Amino acid sequence: MNRGFIQKIVRASVIVVIAAGLAFFIYRTSLSYLSGPQIDVASPADYAAFSTPTTTISGIAERVQDITLDGRSITIDDRGNFSETVLLLPGYNIETLSAHDPFGHVTEKRLELVYNAAKTAASTSPATTATSS
């Protein structure tokens, strides 16, 4: 084999490897954008029960342009962390997080929470009647 033929094979191999690497990079980069936004709730857990009327919902939102909790915007930091305090009604509550990305993809995460309100017992004391003799 002559030296020119080997150089052509090496050059073609290098081009193929670079093209394959570039294609893999583009695939991996676009995959995260094509998959849309993601919401990971750190706390509270789904179906958690509470004895107080407020709780803080916190977590991380990835690849989002904006995020809402029950229809109202909440803020996220530059790393995607969010934390929002909500007021629970007695009984069963559904809190819905909705995230939108710049490409129009939408992701929703529902949290089902239970607030066990303390039942206030009316303080009724039996009436005492005094009889005088």
CATH label of the domain that carries residue 52 = 2.60.40.10
Is 21 within the bounds of a domain?
no
Is 84 within the bounds of a domain?
yes
Question: Which DSSP letter does residue 70 get?
Answer: T
Q: Look up the domain containing 58 and give its range.
A: 36-115
Please report which confidence band the pLDDT of residue 115 belongs to, taking 50, 70 and 90 as the band edges.
very high
Is 4 within the bounds of a domain?
no
CA distance 5 to 118: 86
pTM of the model: 0.67
Computed on alpha carbons and rounded to an integer, the radius of gyration of the chain in Å comes to 30
pLDDT digits (tens, 9 = 90+) for 38-94: 999 999 999 999 999 999 999 999 999 999 999 999 999 999 999 999 999 999 999
Buried b (16+ CB within 10 A) or exposed e, 17-53: eeeeeeeeeeeeeeeeeeebbbbebeebeeeeeeeee
What is the model's pLDDT at position 90?
95
Is 16 within the bounds of a domain?
no
Say whether pLDDT at 128 is over 70: no
Count of structural domains within the chain:
1
